[in-house]
Structure 1
Amino acid sequence: MYFIILVFGTMINYLRHMSVFASVVDEGSFRAAAKTLGIAPSRVSETVSDLEQYLNVTLMHRTTRKLFLTNEGKKFYAYAAEITRNAEAGLNELNVLSQESIGSLKIALPAFLASSTISTAIAEFARQHPKVSLTLTYSDQVMDILEEGLDLSIRVVRVGLLEDSSMMSRKLGESGRLLVAGKKYAEGRQIPKHPSDLKDWDWLRFQSRPSAIELISTTGESVTIQENASISLNSSEALKHFTLQNLGVTILPVHLVEDLIDSGELVHVLPEWKLRPLGYYAVWPDKSRRENLTLLLVRFLAKEVKGHPL
């Protein structure tokens, strides 16, 4: 009986080791796994080393830049990952039955949403669900949901242009975009009356945005012009900053520029012409590891942001 208890205790201990090992593989490094797990990188390294010693095999080779799984490591990872997924699925089921949600979510959002209605809603979610651990990554570069191990990604694209995929999605709302320029830059040029009047203007371009710009008049006329971009940037905040430096005209979301337009630092160019709005979408894997927790957050966001400017 004592032997059975001892073996069972050892197995339980190494189940934790297997979960840490699977996290290292999923995250791609000891440091990233440590951040996800909330423990020190040295503890993660020691745990994997203990597991290798217990199994008497080398599971991975470490270099200063990358980790490489051995053949034994690849085989063992399949089992470790399956055990971790099953455990997370069990937590998901319990979350449905429990009054208090428990678990963790890894979320990616565009950097320009750092101070936004959606971020405020996520903060409220954290207050109401204190036992849910949130890891938020703000980046204007679109992150691969599966490759990065994300549970949820907030995507902002022109309405109707969300790519079809195997992912699940829910539209959270829409936000307008404005054509703006720095006050001094605009004052040095004739006031444009038609999009064609912008052909000699300098443009500041957001790199992931198509260079063809469609503007629609109040009468329904649609005109497409090409950005004559002298500077391209991959950050909305940087785009706003360079525009304030009076280097050209650009397109930015309403919530980033409305205060600057009110203060006179930026000028709304061609106010009688509109740009197609941006759609804000929650996107997550079809077979999420934390499906119930992810859906809980998505439904919460949809409810919180409804009727509020994004």
Structure 2
Amino acid sequence: MIEHLRHMAIFARVVDEGSFRAAAKAIGIAPSRVSETVSELETYLGVTLLYRTTRKIALTNEGRMFFARVTEMLRSAETGLNELNALSLEPVGALRLSMPAYMSSSSLATAIAEFSRRHPQVALSVSFSDARTDLLNDGFDVNIRAGWLDDSSMMSRKLSESERALVAGAGYAATRARPLHPSDLEDWDRIRYKHRPDMTTLIGPAGDTVKVLGQSRLEADSIDALYHFTVQNLGVTVLPEHLVARGEAAGTLIRLLPDWKLRPLGIYAVWPDTSRRESLTLLFVRFIADWEAKSAQHLRGG
């Protein structure tokens, strides 16, 4: 029995991932070995657990009943590990995170580095992508999201806010008259971020709001690409404050309409309410939130 516990865990991972190949990638072993493990388990039980085709797998009736029991067993084991981990002076485990690619050089990335430094027995895997990632289907324990929080079934905590600014390449701005009002930008070339609305809403000194469309000359799905295209003097765009500061320091970016502001984006940590790594997830989220709060206080001079 004991020697087949690992077989059962691999079987459950195959079902969760939807294929032998995906399960093998998640576990870190060869797909052929995953298939052999499930076959060995079926031989031991004397039943067929999975229907296999060239394109997908499906649970048999016996497999469906067995999977429910295996899932219950794994959940109990994970709960036991979480309880012990919560009592431990030194947390142990693994967390898979996803966050926007443009935050790879932000204070949040620094906070993650510090968390890793303080907890050397926690293995972190961080995926950077500006596209939306699916928390459950992609197998992440925690998502860090910017500007959107639309899944009420998840647990969440606001970590910080991301200030943004309207900028243009220094060379491009030099060829145009200095804008005094957002309407002056209507004929400026725009470098558009694919994951944001077409319109840019600016808030004036008196609190009035103006929407600017501009001429979309180029579109990209990466904030880092927007930064690069902007310093190449292709037009105007919106960038997060830490990239704006980098460009200003290098003399390659010019901040436009400094008296007008853009609404900051909320930065959130999101995780399942039935997280297998509950105590470790909460420890990580609390650490990041505290780090961001202290960083914001430091910037305010507090």
> 1:33 Cα deviation (Å)?
3.0
The alignment status of 1:139 with 2:126, answered yes or no, reads no
- Kept after mapping to 2: 8 A contact 1:33/1:44: yes
- Kept after mapping to 1: 8 A contact 2:187/2:214: no
Report the equivalent of 1:28. Answer: 18
C-alpha distance in structure 1 between counterparts of 2:215 and 2:4, whole Å: 60
> 1:28 Cα deviation (Å)?
3.5
What are the residue-to-residue correspondences of 1:59-74 with 2, within 5 Å?
Answer: 59-61=49-51, 66-74=56-64
Q: 1:258 is matched by which residue type in structure 2?
A: A
> 1:99 Cα deviation (Å)?
1.6
What are the residue-to-residue correspondences of 1:159-308 with 2, within 5 Å?
Answer: 162-163=149-150, 165-308=152-295
- Secondary structure of 2:295's aligned partner: coil
What are the residue-to-residue correspondences of 1:63-142 with 2, within 5 Å?
Answer: 66-142=56-132
Q: 1:19 is matched by which residue type in structure 2?
A: A
Q: 1:251 to 1:77 in 2, by over 3 A?
A: same
- Kept after mapping to 2: 8 A contact 1:109/1:153: yes
The alignment status of 1:50 with 2:25, answered yes or no, reads no
| Unaligned ranges ≥5, structure 1 | 1-10
Q: 1:75 to 1:248 in 2, by over 3 A?
A: farther
Q: 1:178 is matched by which residue type in structure 2?
A: A
Q: 2:200 is matched by which residue type in structure 1?
A: I
> 1:31 Cα deviation (Å)?
4.4
TM-score, with length taken from structure 1: 0.87
Q: 1:262 to 1:64 in 2, by over 3 A?
A: farther
C-alpha distance in structure 2 between counterparts of 1:35 and 1:164, whole Å: 27
Q: 1:59 to 1:231 in 2, by over 3 A?
A: farther
- Kept after mapping to 1: 8 A contact 2:199/2:212: yes
- Kept after mapping to 2: 8 A contact 1:107/1:150: yes
C-alpha distance in structure 2 between counterparts of 1:241 and 1:24, whole Å: 41
- Secondary structure of 1:307's aligned partner: helix
Report the equivalent of 1:37. Answer: 27
> 1:52 Cα deviation (Å)?
2.5
Cα deviation per residue 1:147-182 (whole Å; 9 max; x = unaligned)?
Answer: 22322110111xxx6336121111111121011112
> 1:37 Cα deviation (Å)?
3.0
TM-score, with length taken from structure 2: 0.89
Percent sequence identity over aligned pairs? 58
C-alpha distance in structure 1 between counterparts of 2:172 and 2:13, whole Å: 51
Q: 2:82 is matched by which residue type in structure 1?
A: N
- Secondary structure of 2:294's aligned partner: coil
C-alpha distance in structure 2 between counterparts of 1:200 and 1:163, whole Å: 34
Root-mean-square deviation (Å): 2.2
Q: 2:122 is matched by which residue type in structure 1?
A: V
- Kept after mapping to 2: 8 A contact 1:151/1:285: yes
Q: Comparing 97-106 with 71-80, which one deviates more in the overlay?
A: 71-80
C-alpha distance in structure 2 between counterparts of 1:275 and 1:291, whole Å: 36
- Secondary structure of 1:274's aligned partner: coil
C-alpha distance in structure 2 between counterparts of 1:53 and 1:114, whole Å: 47
C-alpha distance in structure 2 between counterparts of 1:59 and 1:123, whole Å: 42
Q: Comparing 38-47 with 127-136, which one deviates more in the overlay?
A: 38-47
Pairs aligned (count): 297
Q: 1:133 to 1:198 in 2, by over 3 A?
A: same
- Kept after mapping to 2: 8 A contact 1:26/1:149: no
Report the equivalent of 1:17. Answer: 7
Q: 1:176 is matched by which residue type in structure 2?
A: E
C-alpha distance in structure 2 between counterparts of 1:204 and 1:12, whole Å: 59
C-alpha distance in structure 2 between counterparts of 1:67 and 1:114, whole Å: 37
C-alpha distance in structure 2 between counterparts of 1:60 and 1:142, whole Å: 31
- Kept after mapping to 2: 8 A contact 1:194/1:270: yes
- Secondary structure of 1:168's aligned partner: strand
